[in-house]
Amino acid sequence: MKHTISVLVENQPGVLARIAGLFSARGYNITSLAVGETEIADISRMTIVVDGDNRILEQVTKQLNKLVDTLKVNDFTREKYIARDLALIKINCETKRRPELLEMVKVFRGKVIDLSPKAVIIEVVETEDKLKAIIENLRPFGIAEMSRTGTIAISRGKK
Amino acid sequence: MKKTGAQIIVECLKKEKVEIFFGIPGGVLLPTFDVIYDSPVKFVLCRHEQGAAHMADGYARATGKVGVCIATSGPGATNLATGLATAHMDSIPMVAFTGQVATHLVGNDAFQEADTTGVTRSITKHNFMVRDVKDLATTIAKAFYLARTGRKGPVLVDIPMDITRQTCEFRYPENIKMRSYNPVYKGYQQQMKKALDYITKSKKPVIYAGGGVISSNSSKELRAFADKLGIPVTLTLMGMGAYPADSDLFLGMLGMHGTYYANHAIQNSDLIIAIGARFDDRITGKIDEFAPKAKIVHIDIDPTSIGKNVIADLPVVGDAGEVLKELNKLIAKEKIKLNFKKWHEKIRKWKEEGPLTYKNDNKLRPQYVIEKIHEVTGGKAIISTEVGQNQMWAAQFYRYNYPRQLLTSGGLGTMGYGFPAAIGAQFAMPDKVVFDIAGDGSIQMNIQELSTAVQNKIPVKIAIMNNGCLGMVRQWQQMFFKKRYSGTCLKEGNPDFVKLAEAYGAVGIRVNTKKEVVPALKKALKINNVVVLDFRIEEEENVWPMVPSGKPIHEIMRGLA
Ligand SMILES: Cc1ncc(C[n+]2csc(CCOP(=O)(O)OP(=O)(O)O)c2C)c(N)n1
């Protein structure tokens, strides 16, 4: 099962390598990893999506906690949370199919963020599942390039 | 007053009350060594950085204090790596300093540059590169704090050369607090009560204790706990000495080369109380068939050790010493008295059925040599070991009654560990007899440290169990690969160890027969110098008993004995 884990870490040099190294050395599978600043300047949040059974997840969270630079580890799968992925999708769409494409983008609440004679760039912010569906629907138009972030997540409620 | 980075390093050592450190200088360490020249902290020049790391490690294991070593950038740092990994696997408190190329050169493939923090990240508890002289003192203080707290381990501080020349006010932090690092020492009261519940309900309990008991200095508490309740104790290699070998309740070591009775006790027990041990594969054998009838109470300071290899019915996160103290209090308060007579009886039968023994004939056998080392040292020596058969014989046949008596690379199994570790221990304990029990293969991995020992008049005794081969590997080839001794024969290339010792200014003694053993040992003890004892043992002697890898531990082969 996939788990979304949030890790708050000291923003120290090497901390990303430490976390990535932990996953590779122990053979855990990372589906995605996203890093960014938090509301506190010297703390970063890593959102890691990892695949594994409960036993592996227990080890993953313990091992992450054990790292000296780790402040807090949350396995969101056990609580209410909101998660989003961002994708930028470039489509080389013939002009005559554009209305159809734009309709599709609208249905999926995407945004056209760039238009040129040969290409349309679409921005979609969605959950991972939905994003997958959108991409499948866009494929027939001819996806030239795609760039995606990993999942980022935040818990619901006060804190 | 302002101090240079180099001066700050030495000031920090003084603040940490470091008595001694081991290492080798190099280009980027020149400013630092210039300060070391006048320093009251003793510096020991080694002949290889691996030796320096193991000396710091041996010093740490023998004393419980933080061991310190220093190496130059690039090759100096990479040479430390094996020593760091060895200490890391066995949770030994150490601080390693490495020189680094100047900050403006870092990342440029400069002369003698290696990405030291990158290379050592996974073989240290933590590491730092100092990027500003203002952070130097705090970083070093953090390194010592991390090394000696929680689950202990080696911490490396990488210091670029320009930092050692820059100056700033020196202020050593009195207290280190790290918001991201808060080790748990005290166990939850609730869990400890439950642990006692498990114990009172059990009929066949076994205590399985490891290096955590030694690391937390709690062998007294372990002894009180086991003796009060009458629970038999088996120890891991790392735990030897945590409970006295001479006690009736002692079962010896368990696992691959454990005793017949320890393994049977574990396999038949209904409760295992694991204390500061981590269910390593050398202990459990085939994991699905390990202690099939037992509930497991697992006490460990490191939550990742719990539930990693076996699932604990009752996890207790905490320092072994703190938890044992608390358990002992509860036992006294609730006046718990238990009777495991039937279980003791059963164990006594296994002890009779499969004692730890060997063929005691006229041949020169290593087990006999080790028993005699025990005898002539009154059981009070510090024993270090190399790796292989020598290590297992040393664990089986020297009876350890005190903690910190056996220094051995348990987790990593590092050949070449024993001799430098013995030197480190002897520096710490000048009045003790220190023996390195070695193999003719392993001893050659750090033999150059004879130089360090002789130069510093460190009278370590080396007992080489010379079988002319890489014995442990050969044993497996004999048993499982039709005696095809591939890449394990040393004999034709071995040096004359007596002459080799003499060449270094040490003393060499050759022992060919059984009756020469005791006189040779007695003679060696009288010599206030390094002595290399070359015991020409039976070449095809094997370590028994043995559980072939992948088998459950009750399927133990007892061999010839
Ligand atoms: C650095 C290192 N290299 C290789 C090994 C693999 N190994 C384990 S035991 C052993 C043989 C050790 O031979 P020796 O030191 O002569 O000891 P003996 O087993 O004969 O007592 C070897 C090669 C190891 N443990 N460490």
* Ordered mean pLDDT values, 10 residues apiece, chain B (561 residues): 96 98 98 97 98 99 98 98 98 98 97 98 98 98 98 98 98 95 95 97 98 98 98 98 98 97 98 97 95 97 95 97 98 95 98 94 97 98 98 98 98 98 98 98 98 98 98 97 97 98 98 98 98 97 95 90 48
Separation CA B435–CA B421 (nearest Å): 10
Domain of residue A96 covers: 82-155
Is A9 in CB contact (< 8 Å) with chain B?
A: yes
Domain with CATH 3.40.50.1220 in chain B: 189-353
User: What does the pLDDT read at residue B487?
Assistant: 98
Query: Which chain A residue shows the shortest CA-CA distance from B180?
Result: A71
Look at the alpha carbons of A48, A52, A58, A63 in this order and tell me if their dihedral is positive or negative: negative
User: What does the pLDDT read at residue B119?
Assistant: 98
Residue B478 phi, psi (nearest 5): -65, -40
Nearest to B308 among A59, A69, A71 (CB): A59
User: What does the pLDDT read at residue A95?
Assistant: 85
DSSP reduced 3-state for B92: coil
Domains contained in chain A, number: 2
* Contact predicate B262/B252, CB 8 Å: yes
Domain with CATH 3.40.50.970 in chain B: 2-169, 366-536
pTM for the whole thing?
A: 0.96
- Which of B387, B408, B488 has most ligand 1 atoms within 8 Å of its beta carbon, as the pocket-test mutant? B387
Half-sphere exposure of B551 (CA within 13 A, CB side): 13
Domain boundary among A61, A78, A95: A78
Q: Residues with Cβ < 8 Å from B64, sequence gap 6 or more?
A: B93, B215, B217, B404
User: What does the pLDDT read at residue B434?
Assistant: 98
C-beta of B410 in contact with ligand 1 (< 6 A): no
Identify the CATH homologous superfamily for domain B2-169. Thiamin diphosphate (ThDP)-binding fold, Pyr/PP domains (3.40.50.970)
User: What does the pLDDT read at residue B560?
Assistant: 62
The order of strands in the sheet holding B507-511 is B406-407, B382-385, B434-439, B461-466, B531-536, B507-511
Q: State the architecture of B189-353 in CATH terms.
A: 3-Layer(aba) Sandwich (3.40)
Whether residues A57 and A93 share a domain: the answer is no
* DSSP assignment string, B278-330: ---HHHHBSGGGSSTT-EEEEEES-GGGTTSSS--SEEEES-HHHHHHHHHHH
Half-sphere exposure of B546 (CA within 13 A, CB side): 16
Separation CA B476–CA B197 (nearest Å): 43
Nearest to B122 among A9, A25, A65 (CB): A25
Instruction: Enter the tokens of residue B122.
Output: 């996974």
Separation CA B324–CA B491 (nearest Å): 49
CA distance B425 to chain A (A): 29
What does the angle CA B82 – CA B88 – CA B92 come to, to the nearest 5 degrees?
110
* Contact predicate B435/B381, CB 8 Å: yes
C-beta of B389 in contact with ligand 1 (< 6 A): yes
Nearest CA to B318 among B153, B196, B150?
Answer: B150
Q: Report the pLDDT averaged over residues A64-85.
A: 94
**What ipTM, to 2 d.p.?**
0.92
Separation CA B547–CA B54 (nearest Å): 30
* Contact predicate B240/B347, CB 8 Å: no
Q: Which of A19, A22, A62, A67 to mutate to test the interface with B (most CBs of B within 10 A)?
A: A62
CATH number at A89 reads: 3.30.70.1150
CA distance A19 to chain B (A): 10
Looking at the predicted structure, is the pLDDT value of residue A32 above 90? yes
Chain A residues close to B127, C-beta within 8 Å: 14
pLDDT band at A107 (very low <50, low <70, confident <90, very high): very high
Whether residues A69 and A119 share a domain: the answer is no
Whether residues A87 and A143 share a domain: the answer is yes
Q: What is the pLDDT of residues B502-555, one digit of tens each?
A: 999 999 999 999 999 999 999 999 999 999 999 999 999 999 999 999 999 999
Chain A residues close to B317, C-beta within 8 Å: none
C-beta of B415 in contact with ligand 1 (< 6 A): yes
Residue B157 forms beta bridges with which residues?
B97, B128
Residue B300 forms beta bridges with which residues?
B317
Whether residues A97 and A68 share a domain: the answer is no
Nearest CA to B57 among B95, B24, B18, B25?
Answer: B95
Whether residues A59 and A92 share a domain: the answer is no
Is A62 in CB contact (< 8 Å) with chain B?
A: yes
Nearest CA to B149 among B354, B382, B322, B313?
Answer: B322
**A43 CA to centre of ligand 1 in angstroms:** 46
Is A41 in CB contact (< 8 Å) with chain B?
A: no
* DSSP assignment string, B42-55: EEEE-SSHHHHHHH
* Contact predicate A3/A50, CB 8 Å: yes
Q: Residues with Cβ < 8 Å from B6, sequence gap 6 or more?
A: B31, B32, B34, B35, B164, B165
**B21 CA to centre of ligand 1 in angstroms:** 28
Provide the pairing of β-strand A152-155 with A120-126: unpaired
Whether residues A71 and A90 share a domain: the answer is no
Residue B69 forms beta bridges with which residues?
B22, B96
Residue B261 phi, psi (nearest 5): -75, -35
Domain boundary among A78, A113, A128: A78
Whether residues A18 and A67 share a domain: the answer is yes
Identify the CATH homologous superfamily for domain B366-536. Thiamin diphosphate (ThDP)-binding fold, Pyr/PP domains (3.40.50.970)
Q: Which residue has the tokens 């290699």?
A: B237
Query: Which chain A residue shows the shortest CA-CA distance from B121?
Result: A18
Nearest to B304 among A13, A14, A63 (CB): A63
pLDDT band at A118 (very low <50, low <70, confident <90, very high): confident
User: B87-124 burial by CB neighbour count: b if 16+ within 10 A, else e?
Assistant: bbbbbbbbbbbbbbbbbebbeeebebbbbbbebbbbbb
C-beta of B472 in contact with ligand 1 (< 6 A): yes
Whether residues A102 and A132 share a domain: the answer is yes
Is A25 in CB contact (< 8 Å) with chain B?
A: yes
Q: Which atom of ligand 1 lies nearest, measured to the CA of B445?
A: 1
Helix residue spans in chain A (DSSP H): 15-26, 54-66, 98-107, 128-138
Separation CA B290–CA B310 (nearest Å): 9
Nearest CA to A6 among A34, A39, A40?
Answer: A34
CATH number at A14 reads: 3.30.70.260
Whether residues A68 and A112 share a domain: the answer is no
Whether residues A70 and A110 share a domain: the answer is no
Whether residues A112 and A145 share a domain: the answer is yes
DSSP reduced 3-state for A54: helix
Residue B366 phi, psi (nearest 5): -60, -35
Whether residues A69 and A7 share a domain: the answer is yes
CA distance A67 to chain B (A): 8
Peptide bond into B75 cis (omega under 30): no
